[in-house]
Amino acid sequence: MYNQKEFMSDLEMRNIGEPEFIQAVSEVLESVIDVVNNDPEYLDARILERITEPDRVFMFKVEWENDDAEVQVNKGYRVQFNNSIGPYKGGLRFHPSVTLGTLKFLGFEQIFKNSLTTLPMGGGKGGSDFNPKGKSDTEIMRFCRSFMTELQKYIGPETDVPAGDIGVGSREIGYMYGQYKRLRGENTGVLTGKGRNWGGSLIRPEATGFGAIYFADEVVKAHNDSLKDKLLSVSGFGNVAWGACIKATELGAKVITISGPDGYIHDKDGISTQEKWDYMLELRASNNDVVKPYAEKFGVPFFEGKKPWEVKVDIAVPCAFQNELNEDDADALIKSGVKYIIETSNMGCTTEAVNKFIAGKIPFGPGKAANAGGVAVSGLEMSQNSMKYSWASEDVDDKLGRIMKDIHSACVTEGTQSDGYINYVKGANIAGFRKVADAMLDLGY
Ligand code: GLU
């Protein structure tokens, strides 16, 4: 039998200085401990020790030259966490905050998220402490080229398939894929999130945001409610927030905030026109990492240094960064009457915030379920690449919708409490965990 406290203190000793990884494991453990302790096969196979240790980690140096011909050095990583149900799959994050611990937390979350998609994908994550802010396009290209020169040794379409994450969009994927092809001479599905003209899947750019709103739609329906006329606060202004604004509008809801590291904007009319969506893409492509220009362009208020969780809405949709919504933010949202939380960033809420929502019986969709649409369409991109074929956008969107529906059902099956409250955190963790743990049993050690 596992003792939860002992297991965690042992894990902390073995993973010093990795608080986000400890937080991610602790949250999963809380959900699955009884499942494991009641299954002699899981206990005998020491599933918990094995699932919390990455298969392997690559750490490497990335040397590149800036526009002033000065040599720059960054750290590069790829964490191959678990490939029991399929090739390692997960994004690359370029952000100055990236450490090994960050990528271990993200890789660990990815195992269960990918399992929930119903597609055969294992969990991995990678990235660099490279800061794209203020970099020129050629600097980004030189960095990506150098990063891939090393990374290509460890990845492959049947072994490990990276994609984008924060700081890595189709531009960066393009430069990396270009270098992979230069070095290997292959056209393969080694990366996903590719451009539509060179092997990418339609709907991949929209997929994470669309998927989150499909998930939200399922959550409200399960509570005899609808998205029609609901007010949403969204954080972030990148690819995920963009997709969420588009799909929310399509389903009759209104997104009234987006945010950046500089603050948030409050657009009462809704971020609901093509012009506003296109402007979000422009903001992202500028590499400035600020949202204030939106307020100036559309004449709406900007709140410097503030988070959007102080605005009264029906649904809060964090789409930016881990731990971006804390206990105080949760209190503010609960006080102003929030009805649902759709966590779309990976581990976007602190443990304390999640516990508050659950204690308040507010339906809370965790990131690993709500944001799984992105990697799900990456899985569909892999399928299309293997077939040397491409599906129409309606086909991909339709498959995405069905996957999000299935993820929601899995959460309901595993997470419904005796009082009828659907604990989506527990549901997602147990459903995601079972499939991987059972595969590990089947495969031996
Ligand atoms: N970075 C995304 C995530 O957190 C997408 C990963 C992928 O498409 O492989 O799931």
Nearest Cα residue to 216 out of 310, 359, 115, 317: 317
The reply to whether 185 falls in a domain is yes
In this structure, are residues 433 and 378 in contact, taking their beta carbons and an 8 Å threshold?
A: no
| Residues 130 and 217 reside in one and the same domain | no
Other Cβ atoms less than 10 A from the Cβ of 38: the count is 10
The reply to whether 311 falls in a domain is yes
Residue 388: its pLDDT value, please? Answer: 97
The CATH number of whichever domain residue 281 belongs to comes to 3.40.50.720
Average pLDDT over residues 392-400: 98
Average pLDDT over residues 176-201: 97
Residue 53 banded pLDDT, cuts 50, 70, 90: very high
CA separation for the pair 89, 389 (Å, rounded): 21
pLDDT tens across 324-350, in order?
A: 999 999 999 999 999 999 999 999 999
Identify the bridge partners of residue 58 per DSSP, sorted by sequence position.
78
- Domain extent, residue 236, equals 207-362
| Residues 252 and 271 reside in one and the same domain | yes
Give the least confident one: 223-232, 242-251, 283-292.
283-292
Identify the bridge partners of residue 349 per DSSP, sorted by sequence position.
325
| Residues 58 and 174 reside in one and the same domain | yes
Residue 79: its pLDDT value, please? Answer: 99
Kindly state the percentage of the chain with pLDDT values over 70: 100
The DSSP line for 384-439 is: HHHHT----HHHHHHHHHHHHHHHHHHHHHHHB-TTS-B-HHHHHHHHHHHHHHHH
Residue 259: its pLDDT value, please? Answer: 98
pTM, to two decimals: 0.97
| Residues 218 and 357 reside in one and the same domain | yes
145-149 CB contacts, 8 Å cutoff, 24+ apart: 145/64, 145/175, 145/176, 145/178, 145/179, 146/62, 146/63, 146/64, 147/62, 147/74, 147/76, 147/176, 148/175, 148/176, 148/179, 148/180, 148/183, 149/179, 149/183
In the residue annotation, 312 being an active-site residue is answered as no
Give the least confident one: 283-292, 311-320, 416-425.
283-292
CA separation for the pair 109, 115 (Å, rounded): 10
| Residues 88 and 160 reside in one and the same domain | yes
Residue 360: its pLDDT value, please? Answer: 98
Average pLDDT over residues 280-294: 94
Residue 61: its pLDDT value, please? Answer: 98
The reply to whether 119 falls in a domain is yes
In this structure, are residues 117 and 149 in contact, taking their beta carbons and an 8 Å threshold?
A: no
The reply to whether 379 falls in a domain is no
Residue 169 banded pLDDT, cuts 50, 70, 90: very high
Question: Among 175, 198, 221, which residue terminates a domain?
Answer: 198
Taking the centre of ligand 1 as the mean of its atom positions, its distance from the CA of residue 376, in whole angstroms, is 8
Residue 118 banded pLDDT, cuts 50, 70, 90: very high
CA separation for the pair 236, 239 (Å, rounded): 9
Ligand 1 contact, 374 CB (< 6 A): yes
Question: Among 362, 389, 415, which residue terminates a domain?
Answer: 362
Question: Among 198, 231, 260, which residue terminates a domain?
Answer: 198
| Residues 215 and 283 reside in one and the same domain | yes
Ligand 1 contact, 165 CB (< 6 A): yes
Residue 263 banded pLDDT, cuts 50, 70, 90: very high
The reply to whether 402 falls in a domain is no
| Residues 178 and 227 reside in one and the same domain | no
Mutate which of 106, 110, 115 for ligand 1 pocket (most atoms within 8 A of beta carbon): 110
| Residues 67 and 182 reside in one and the same domain | yes
The reply to whether 381 falls in a domain is no
CA separation for the pair 96, 325 (Å, rounded): 20
The reply to whether 106 falls in a domain is yes
Residue 235 banded pLDDT, cuts 50, 70, 90: very high
Mutate which of 170, 375, 404 for ligand 1 pocket (most atoms within 8 A of beta carbon): 375
The reply to whether 413 falls in a domain is no
pLDDT tens across 193-219, in order?
A: 999 999 999 999 999 999 999 999 999
Taking the centre of ligand 1 as the mean of its atom positions, its distance from the CA of residue 175, in whole angstroms, is 18
Residue 390 banded pLDDT, cuts 50, 70, 90: very high
The CATH number of whichever domain residue 191 belongs to comes to 3.40.50.10860
Average pLDDT over residues 4-17: 98
Determine which helix (DSSP H) or strand (DSSP E) holds 342, and give its type and residue range.
strand 340-342
Catalytic residue among 89, 113, 125, 435: 125
Residue 133: its pLDDT value, please? Answer: 94
**Could you give phi then psi for residue 385, rounded to 5 degrees?**
-65, -40
Q: Which atom of ligand 1 is nearest to the CA of 121?
A: 9
| Residues 131 and 112 reside in one and the same domain | yes
Question: In the chain, what is the straight-line distance between the N-terminal and C-terminal CA atoms, in Å?
Answer: 20
In this structure, are residues 212 and 245 in contact, taking their beta carbons and an 8 Å threshold?
A: no
pLDDT tens across 342-377, in order?
A: 999 999 999 999 999 999 999 999 999 999 999 999
pLDDT tens across 80-97, in order?
A: 999 999 999 999 999 999
| Residues 161 and 213 reside in one and the same domain | no
Taking the centre of ligand 1 as the mean of its atom positions, its distance from the CA of residue 382, in whole angstroms, is 13
Ligand 1 contact, 378 CB (< 6 A): yes
CA separation for the pair 99, 169 (Å, rounded): 20
Q: Which atom of ligand 1 is nearest to the CA of 113?
A: 10
Taking the centre of ligand 1 as the mean of its atom positions, its distance from the CA of residue 378, in whole angstroms, is 8
**Backbone conformation region of residue 318, classed left if phi is above 0, alpha if psi is from -120 to 50, else beta:** beta
Taking the centre of ligand 1 as the mean of its atom positions, its distance from the CA of residue 91, in whole angstroms, is 5
Ligand 1 contact, 111 CB (< 6 A): no
| Residues 430 and 311 reside in one and the same domain | no
SS3 320: coil
Q: How many domains does the chain have?
A: 3
Ligand 1 contact, 429 CB (< 6 A): no
The CATH number of whichever domain residue 20 belongs to comes to 1.10.285.10
Taking the centre of ligand 1 as the mean of its atom positions, its distance from the CA of residue 39, in whole angstroms, is 31
Ligand 1 contact, 173 CB (< 6 A): no
Residue 245: its pLDDT value, please? Answer: 98
CA separation for the pair 62, 74 (Å, rounded): 5
Residue 412: its pLDDT value, please? Answer: 98
Mutate which of 109, 239, 378, 384 for ligand 1 pocket (most atoms within 8 A of beta carbon): 378
In this structure, are residues 281 and 242 in contact, taking their beta carbons and an 8 Å threshold?
A: yes
Ligand 1 contact, 192 CB (< 6 A): yes
Which residues are within 8 A (CB) of 264 and not within 5 positions of it... i.e. 6 or more apart? 235, 257, 258, 291, 302, 303, 306, 307, 308, 311
SS3 53: coil
Ligand 1 contact, 89 CB (< 6 A): yes
**What residue type is 293 in one-letter code?**
P
Residue 136 banded pLDDT, cuts 50, 70, 90: very high
Work out the mean pLDDT of the chain and round it to a whole number.
98
| Residues 130 and 178 reside in one and the same domain | yes
